[in-house]
Amino acid sequence: MRAFVLFLALLVAIKIWVQDSVYRSATQDALVAAYRARAAQACAASASPAAPAEGTAINWLKDDNAHVTIGKPSVPVHFWQLDHELWDARFRQPYLMLSGENGVSCAYDLMADTAEIVRS
């Protein structure tokens, strides 16, 4: 009987994991489809001062490596600094990350409608 109960608990855990992963995947696909063009325009506008120096403009819609992340790791806030004014930007706000050529990526803030170029 104990083995049967453990088996049922395992099935419940697998069901919850599958539902969560399907929900997250569908949500990410919907956000990327809805905001990709707007993010590409914001990234191009944000990169325009750097583009003449490089000589070429980056095509942000070319690559299919767009994904949604929660929080931006480049914001210098620790998780225990709850009263910090940038805590939401670091840990709560959604960002659409677009990849470009030569290790250049763009973080598009879905809440503030702003973009920031990140060079790695």
Q: Quick: pLDDT tens for 85-113.
A: 988 888 989 999 988 777 788 899 998 88
* 24 CA to centre of own chain: 12
For tokens 């944000």, the residue is 46
For residue range 31-47, list pLDDT tens digits in order: 999 999 999 899 888 87
Residue 3: phi and psi, rounded to 5, are: -65, -40
DSSP 3-state helix, strand, coil percentages of the chain (rounded to 5)? Answer: 50, 20, 35
> What pLDDT sits at residue 55?
43
* Cα torsion through 51, 53, 55, 58, rounded to 10: -20
Asked if 34 contacts 104 with a C-beta cutoff of 8 angstroms, the reply is no
> What pLDDT sits at residue 8?
97
The tokens for 46 are 């944000």
Is residue 52 very low, low, confident or very high in pLDDT (cuts 50, 70, 90)?
Answer: very low
The tokens for 63 are 């690559």
The mean pLDDT value for 40-65 works out to: 70
Alpha helices in 1-120 (DSSP H): 2-47, 51-54, 87-91
